[in-house]
Structure 1
């Protein structure tokens, strides 16, 4: 989201909720939490995280502070209606929930299609809550490219081709739920505009055109081997590539800054009609 703030003209990072205070909250607050998801149990095996429901509670606190700052609720709601809300969540509900059947029962309770529908219903309610708290310009990001990095391969525990097919199908089902959801929210909440960002399409186009090193077994840093439960982190004292801008992934799961920046610039200003629906964030800002 830092690159998005830059695209919108900010010369500083948006502060996290934990430290944001005083007048600075009028310029934005970052509620993101590593490992968190739409479902409250998502990511719990990895430690503490702030789920979407808790993030909404934190935003409610921010709204109450803005009401006090501006003097009344009407002024606060008018102010918030001009803000951009970038919502990028859901990846962990798959990679730190549904795709880990040894920890979570969701894999056995729902088919991929059923899970996407259940998740979408919960997410839709959360976005309606966000609207209740003043949001009128909301950009909903689809999930990132479903590539089989070492992390995804370790989750699948099957060969790469099968892993790609399984993950791609599940993520596609989820992304396919989002576009009609966004359209439905804009219809049912006519005072608001919801848009969908096709993150998978954007990323695939960027990777294909930018010449990134696409060997998924060799991210920028040297990661722990298959003997670990999840070969995710960079290896202590391991090798790190000298040309990071040529790699799509830094470790076994996280994209490099180079890829993040290109992704965000394109989510702000679409380069293809399929990048966003019904329009891009730049247009959303101008409404």
Structure 2
């Protein structure tokens, strides 16, 4: 019996020692446990309002979403997090699929040094590839500045094992929409449409884009997820500019609707039909699709060049060891629209929240009441998808076996490399 009590005492002492160790090293053990569940050790995000999660909150900019109803469905019910949707963004959901647990990948502007090695979100609403893009909306961080922020972060990560770790991370980059919406197709504010035809403009964008991707490569990035641009000629903002005769209001000499946040929505394209969405062809670039095909045609040129760039960088002559995945935003959007009923969507051509035609002339006003059932809407506001749409796109690019969705492999396979 004495031996039995002695054994119990030894076990109790062992349990107490382990408990003390867990308490003393709880943070490290928690990180290690989370890392075991993650497919990659870290994730870094670069982009615009589609994936911004608060970097613009405290700068002088119209491109901000840190007020209700933005974030109304965010899981923890916290204060508006600065995301341009009702809940989670596509990269929030993609990070979840990669095994990252809440708290989500933090915004760089609000992060602590202890966050740096796990991942950061550098995205900025209104940002583009070109530095002047989005200046009409005030302050923001263009792609080159986002990369510069990452450079400063890399310098603060302990060098031991840093190169290997960074090479295993996922780098999501989604840029280009604002270079069209808030630059090329704003001729009263920018001169790019006079200086470039669509092909030349796409080439100029892609040249700068490749420069920034190779800068990330030089800093240690190897696994890239590069998102194409959706058919932004079909977003509620553009639909609101097309009158009942199919004309683009801009083309008739009338000013565009004033948008509180003139931003982008890569990843969504909608075949418009019903409820005033199926408008006829006329002179303003809006054709039988009901969308602004002039914009969509320019986007098609850009996406084709972006895919070619991904293929070239994957060949390794300039970036040996790099693996880039191209996300076909147009194809994902077409699937979203074609199978809307199966996905539970009933409203394809207007925002859940906003003002004016298609809820697309002004984005959500502070404390405005949005639609009651956000799961029925593809668009949250004039420019951005709902969390429901974001979830479908994230699931698709993570696991799709079709190269028309993610080329040449999906994100889960990229993570496994």
Q: TM-score, normalised by structure 2?
A: 0.63
**Does residue 171 of structure 2 align to residue 85 of structure 1?**
yes
Distance, in Å, in 2 between the alignment partners of 1:274 and 1:94 is: 23
Distance, in Å, in 1 between the alignment partners of 2:117 and 2:216 is: 17
Instruction: Specify the alignment match of 2:145 in structure 1.
Output: 54
- SS for the counterpart of 1:196 is strand
Instruction: Specify the alignment match of 1:16 in structure 2.
Output: 107
Q: Which has the larger Rg? A: 2
Segments ≥4 residues shifted beyond 6 Å: none
- SS for the counterpart of 1:138 is strand
- SS for the counterpart of 1:10 is coil
**Contact 2:177/2:232 (<8 A) preserved:** no
Change in 2 beyond 3 A, CA 1:236/1:53: closer
Deviation at 1:236, TM superposition (A): 5.9
**Contact 1:223/1:238 (<8 A) preserved:** no
Q: Where does 1:237-276 land on structure 2 (aligned, <5 Å)? A: 240-276=370-406
**Does residue 398 of structure 2 align to residue 280 of structure 1?**
no
Q: Where does 1:1-287 land on structure 2 (aligned, <5 Å)? A: 1-12=91-102, 13-66=104-157, 69-71=158-160, 75-153=161-239, 154=241, 156-157=248-249, 158=284, 160-161=286-287, 163-187=291-315, 188=317, 189-211=319-341, 212-216=345-349, 218-224=350-356, 231-235=361-365, 240-287=370-417
Change in 2 beyond 3 A, CA 1:280/1:39: same
Distance, in Å, in 2 between the alignment partners of 1:199 and 1:177 is: 14
Distance, in Å, in 1 between the alignment partners of 2:304 and 2:97 is: 27
The C-alpha deviation readout for 1:165-195, integer Å capped at 9, x for no partner, is: 2111011111100111001112221211112
Distance, in Å, in 2 between the alignment partners of 1:5 and 1:97 is: 30
The C-alpha deviation readout for 1:225-270, integer Å capped at 9, x for no partner, is: 69xxx81312567553222111111111111111011111111111
Change in 2 beyond 3 A, CA 1:145/1:263: farther
**Contact 1:248/1:256 (<8 A) preserved:** yes
**Contact 2:340/2:346 (<8 A) preserved:** no
Change in 2 beyond 3 A, CA 1:242/1:286: same
Looking at secondary structure, tell me which structure has more helix per residue: 1
Q: Tell which deviates more after alignment, 174-183 or 202-211.
A: 202-211
**Contact 2:285/2:294 (<8 A) preserved:** no
Which consecutive residues of structure 1, in runs of 5 or more, have no partner in the other structure?
none
**Contact 2:128/2:175 (<8 A) preserved:** yes
Q: TM-score, normalised by structure 1?
A: 0.90
The C-alpha deviation readout for 1:101-150, integer Å capped at 9, x for no partner, is: 11110111111111111111110111111101110001110012334234
Distance, in Å, in 2 between the alignment partners of 1:83 and 1:49 is: 25
Distance, in Å, in 2 between the alignment partners of 1:240 and 1:274 is: 34
Q: Tell which deviates more after alignment, 90-99 or 202-211.
A: 202-211
The C-alpha deviation readout for 1:20-69, integer Å capped at 9, x for no partner, is: 22332211110000000000000001010000000011000110011xx2
